[in-house]
Structures are given as structure tokens and as C-alpha cells.
Amino acid sequence: MRLPTPVVRLLAFTLASAALSSGAAAQRTEKPQLHGSHWIAVTGKPLGATAGAMIFQQGGNAVDAAAAMLAAVCTMWDTLACGGETQALIYDPVLKKVIGINALGVAPSGATAEFYRSRGMEFPPEFGPLAAVTPGTPGGLMTMLAEYGTMSLEQVLTPALQMAAEGYPMEAQLANTIESNKGRIKGWKYSPAVFLTHPGAAREAPQAGEIFKQADLAATFRKLIEAERAALRARKSRKEAIYAAQDRFYKGDIAEEIVRAVQEEGGLFTRSDLANWRVRIEEPVSTTYRGVTVYKLPFWQQGPALLQALNILENADLKGMGYNSAQYIHTVYQAMNLAFADRDFYYGDPYFAPEEPAAGLLSKAYAKQRWGMMSMDRNDASVRPGDPYPFQNGTNPFTSLLAQWSTTGPRPDTSSRVRTPQPSDDATFLDAFTRGTTSIQAADKNGWLVSITPSGGWVPAVIAGRTGIGLSQRAQSFVTRAEDGPFNVIEPGKRPRVTLTPTIALKDGEPWMAFSVQGGDTQDQDLLQFFLAMVEFGQTVQQAAEHPGFHSYQMRSSFGAHEARPGRIQLNERVPDWVRADLARRGYQAEFARWTSGPITAIWVDRAHGSLWGAASNFGEDHGIAW
């Protein structure tokens, strides 16, 4: 019997709504679910995960394996290089606590707001030597290994050294990125010799599958290993020997060559900039949501925005709204915008004045106030930072700056010296907004859990002389005026507020999950939705990693001209017509994409069965190996 058309439509709507509400618990995934009982290694490239597996098979712990993966993906230029920055969270099962690793470089001597503005720059540039902060990843890798690993630096660097010295087959993604950026690469003295393996040919970049060697980088790795060996011969401990290698990088001949080359290219590094830089071992910040404690690094990166969003969403019945219903998307989108508006204004390097209002920003009472400000039916395209100071018994010193704030980004500059950046086209804006990096997760049967989001030095990168080290471009995340964020104005020795955001979660005081993602200003948007898919809707870690997510562009980009696109939302192509129509009625301008989860990597601890579950999204080339 044929049912009447209205009944068919009602039945279809009911079935679809039921699927949304259930979180699509039975959905199949495009990548297999990883299972292991001894260890799991997940990162942005298959060869990078193999490096981690090699270390695990040699008896290393999760920190050892994570360090090996970090060195390998830097060698592969997986949207980062060895001169970039590293930020990590580590769960130490001996101390039973989460530890933060802050290995972000700092603005060099002379890198003042006036320096850039006197050269007509509204912000530090996107590329080149004046975009560089001091290298952080080598120090971060060696500090993690020395303090929490078990192996020597030589052991964990061996896979990366082999890849640099003997070469590895380059994947198409990197090869094509080099070719498309060869014009900029040719503008720096030492970069063409590394990247353009066929100078003068029609295609100067490597071909996909070509064996790519990096002799200078291999020589730098060997110098670090030589320093460690010399210290061990002098009867230094494992830890002391690793720090001897770190000193050679930051205080010895490697540092000397980095500084010489950077200054030759017109950059600002000095020997003291590298010698005085330190990795900081930090206490993370955290919040609780539905019985799960989520940890992020402090306010020098955007991770606390996820915590703020969870505090706001704790006031909602997300499960009752139904997974990816119009009301769910609207509610989560608005909460993200409120949290990111605070990020744009209040986040910055906590080791520099002014002091961030951290307690107020993470206050549940402040989140309740922000929740009360949300429209439950219409998009607020003019969302603004709040005032967290009363929630820590303080008074906001920046009310005049708040009054000038605009969602759409920096106001035009009337100074005759400064060129006001022109609004970019959509493709350029989106490329900058979602600028990639990689992520690393590692876990072992003894309870070590590691989450890393390293970045910086992506192609096109300035190569620091004969070191093979690609320099960071992270200075562009600073601003040069207090009106654009009083906590993030560039100063020598200061860290920029970055988008890089590893995550560890505990449940009942025990390790529950490590997760992170690449993707610039979308990172904590993706991680928030991934987390909610598991906690609210019961999805497996792989299902959640492939979630049909959505993105807001109402926050200011951390890159380029620091623009925003109020009212815009990116939706997955699978979002049904009635949800699209409902969102349009609420004031959203929608665009659509096939893959919208972000390249999430994660490891979930299955305490009921004593096993580990790993995940790598279907978004990109992220890959995991388990045993």
C-alpha cells in the first residue's frame, strides 16, 4: 500500500531525527578502529606513526615514541619543521597527574610593535625571517624525553636521521605544496637547495614518491647525538646527556649558524635569544563536563576556549536536542563564538603583564552568565568578549578597549605609516584560518598518555643556513595594537597566542583520552564536537573522529590579516535539507564540504577491558599503528 505523501515525509523526518538523536551509534567508519593492548601510536603521516611503532617495539614508553614521531614528522615537513614550536600534555602514571610542556618560541630581540608598524605592517608578516619566533620543537622534544622518557636521544632520533640522511619517498601532498610555493622559496638564500630538487626544470619540486634527502638536517641530528655521546662518555646521566645536546642546539655551534643565517636574511635573532630561551613545564588548566575532567595548556594557546565552551554548554540539554539537529548546531556554534570572543581579547603569554583573568574565564558562574546572553533562536553575528573580572573579585582594566571591540576584526588604521590590510578573498581567508600542522598521540599499557600539537616552519619556510632547520612563522599570531587584544601585543621574549591545542581527559581520576587536531582556528571547534559526540551521544572514538562537523568563522583569524567572517557556517554535505533551512532562518550563511571533522587523532582508554582504542579521522593522511 502506498502511503500518502505527507505521511511519508513525516515518517522520513521521524526516522532521521531518531538517527540524529542516537548519535548514529551503528554508523560505519571510513577508516578502521584501531585496537591495542600494549601501545598505540597515531600521527599525521603513516611513516611518522611507523617511527613511533619502531620505538615501542624496542621497549620505549609513550613519551619515547612520541618524541620519535615528533622528529619524524618534522623531517617530513608535515606542515611543520624542526624550527617550529611544540606544545604537549603528558599523563604521568607515577605522579598520577597531567603535565604541560610549553615549547613555544618567543619574539626575538627588537621584535617590538613599533618595529613592525614603522615598516608599514599592521601585523608581523605571514612568511619570511620577520615572521619567525625562536625554535621551540628541539627543546620541547629533548625536555620531554629527558624528564619523562626512558631512552637516549640517539635512539629516538634514529628514524628521523635515517629519513634525512638516506631519504624517504615524499608524498604527493608535500611535493605539490613545494611546487606551488616555489616562487616564495626562491626569495630566501638557503631554502631552494633543500626544497627545489630539480632547479630550472618545469617542475622544480620533488615528484611524488621521489626519495627526498636532507643532508644538512642529518648533520644537525648527528651533532645532537655527538653531544649526547660525549656527555655519556664523561659519565653524565641519561638526562644530563640529553640536556648537553639541547645546549649544543641553543648555545653552541648550531645556534651560531642559525643566528648568522637569520641575520643574513634580515631577521632579528641574537645568540642571547636562543641561549636564554627555556622550555616551561606547566600546570595545565582544566574543567569538568558530565564527569570527565578535560585538561588544556594555559592561556598562551587557545585550548581554554574549549573549556569555556564546555562550561557554557553544561547548561544545555544537548542530547535532548538530537545529534546535529538545527538546535544542536545553533547552540554549540553560539557557545563556541562566545568562548572564542574571549580568546581573541583576553588570551596571551601569562609570563608577561597584563595578567590574564584565568580564574574568571574558567568560572562556572561566568559561563552561566554567558549562557544567559545567548539567543536560543537567532545567530548573533556581533558576539563580543564578556567581562570575567567580577567572577574573580576584580575590576576590568580594559573597559575602554572592550567598548571599541568589533567581531569583524581590526579597525582600519589611520596612521600614514601603516598599510591597512585589504580584506582577502574567501579562498585566501579559509587557507589562513584553517592553516594546518600535525598532531601526535601515544599511549602504552603502563598508563603513559601523550598528546602533542607541534607546528611552525611549514612550507614555504626560511631555512636557517646550513642547519637544514626550517624557521617558524608564528610571530604573525601576535597583534601590534592593544585594541586588537591587550594580552597579545608583540614584545621581545614574549610568546604569541597560538591555535595549537593538545588535550588529555581523565575520568574518575584515571586516564580516559588523549586527542588533538590540526587546522588553525578550527582546532578547538573540531575537538569540542568530537568530545561531545562521545560523551553526549555514545559514539566510538573512530566514529567521533569522522563526525560531520561544522565551523564558525565569527572569531578573528590568528593568521594573515586576522579577519573574521560573521554569520558564516561551514556544514557537512550530509546535513539534511530541513536542518539547512532552519539554520538559514536563524540567520546563518551556509557553505558545504564533504569532510568537515578536521584531521583528528585520538586514543581512548578502555578501562573495562584493559585495552586501548585509537582513531585517525578520514579527513587527511593521519595514521595510527597499534599492538
Q: 431-453: per-residue pLDDT in tens? A: 888 887 899 999 999 999 999 99
Predicted local distance difference test score (pLDDT) of residue 36:
98
CA 468 distance to own-chain centroid: 23
**Where residue 381 sits, what CATH number does that domain have?**
1.10.246.130
> Euclidean distance between the first and final Cα of the chain, in Å?
54
Give a yes or no: residue 193 inside a domain.
Answer: no
DSSP letter for 205, please. Answer: S
Q: Higher confidence at residue 525 or residue 428?
A: 525
Q: What is the average pLDDT value for the chain, to the nearest integer? A: 94
- Whether the CA torsion 524, 530, 534, 537 is positive or negative: it is positive
pLDDT over 50 at 12, yes or no: no
Report the percentage of the chain scoring pLDDT > 70: 94
Predicted local distance difference test score (pLDDT) of residue 437:
86
Predicted local distance difference test score (pLDDT) of residue 420:
67
Predicted local distance difference test score (pLDDT) of residue 408:
80
**Residue range 477-535, pLDDT digits in tens:** 999 999 999 999 999 999 999 999 999 999 999 999 999 999 999 999 999 999 999 99
pLDDT over 80 at 310, yes or no: yes
The C-alpha atoms of residue 284 and residue 451 are separated, in whole angstroms, by: 13
Dihedral through CA 345, CA 403, CA 364, CA 562, nearest 10?
Answer: -30
Q: Label residue 620 by pLDDT band (50, 70, 90).
A: confident
Q: Higher confidence at residue 601 or residue 20?
A: 601
**Residue range 343-393, pLDDT digits in tens:** 999 999 999 999 999 999 999 999 999 999 999 999 999 999 999 999 999
pLDDT over 70 at 13, yes or no: no
Question: Per the structure block, which three cell numbers stand in for 428?
Answer: 585566501
Q: Which amino acid does the sequence have at 490?
A: I
Predicted local distance difference test score (pLDDT) of residue 436:
77
Predicted local distance difference test score (pLDDT) of residue 18:
43
Give a yes or no: residue 579 inside a domain.
Answer: no
Q: Are strands 623-626 and 168-169 parallel, antiparallel or unpaired?
A: unpaired
Give a yes or no: residue 30 inside a domain.
Answer: no
Residue range 217-223: mean pLDDT, rounded: 98
Report the percentage of the chain scoring pLDDT > 90: 90
Q: Look at the chain and report how many structural domains it folds into.
A: 1
Q: Label residue 20 by pLDDT band (50, 70, 90).
A: very low
Predicted local distance difference test score (pLDDT) of residue 435:
82
pLDDT over 70 at 24, yes or no: no
Give a yes or no: residue 391 inside a domain.
Answer: yes
Q: Counting beta carbons within 10 angstroms of the beta carbon of residue 94, is it exposed (0 to 12), middle (13 to 18) or buried (19 or more)? A: exposed
Q: Label residue 428 by pLDDT band (50, 70, 90).
A: confident
Predicted local distance difference test score (pLDDT) of residue 10:
37
**Residue range 568-600, pLDDT digits in tens:** 999 999 999 999 999 999 999 999 999 999 999
pLDDT over 50 at 213, yes or no: yes
Q: What are phi and psi of 7, to 5 degrees?
A: -70, -40
Give a yes or no: residue 328 inside a domain.
Answer: yes
Question: Per the structure block, which three cell numbers stand in for 243?
Answer: 640536556
Q: What are phi and psi of 278, to 5 degrees?
A: -135, 145
Question: Per the structure block, which three cell numbers stand in for 286?
Answer: 582544566
Predicted local distance difference test score (pLDDT) of residue 9:
37
**Residue range 253-292, pLDDT digits in tens:** 999 999 999 999 999 999 999 999 999 999 999 999 999 9
Give a yes or no: residue 611 inside a domain.
Answer: no
pLDDT over 50 at 16, yes or no: no
Predicted local distance difference test score (pLDDT) of residue 412:
58
Dihedral through CA 37, CA 42, CA 47, CA 50, nearest 10?
Answer: -20
Predicted local distance difference test score (pLDDT) of residue 6:
39
Predicted local distance difference test score (pLDDT) of residue 423:
72
Residue range 45-70: mean pLDDT, rounded: 98
Give a yes or no: residue 621 inside a domain.
Answer: no
Of 163, 201, 155, residue with least CA distance to 182: 201
Give a yes or no: residue 373 inside a domain.
Answer: yes
Buried b (16+ CB within 10 A) or exposed e, 447-478: bbbbbbbbbbbbbbbbbbbbbbbbbbbbbbbb
pLDDT over 70 at 319, yes or no: yes
Domain that holds residue 391: 298-408
Residue range 206-229: mean pLDDT, rounded: 98
Predicted local distance difference test score (pLDDT) of residue 149:
98
pLDDT over 80 at 413, yes or no: no
**Residue range 96-138, pLDDT digits in tens:** 999 999 999 999 999 999 999 999 999 999 999 999 999 999 9
pLDDT over 50 at 542, yes or no: yes
Predicted local distance difference test score (pLDDT) of residue 223:
99
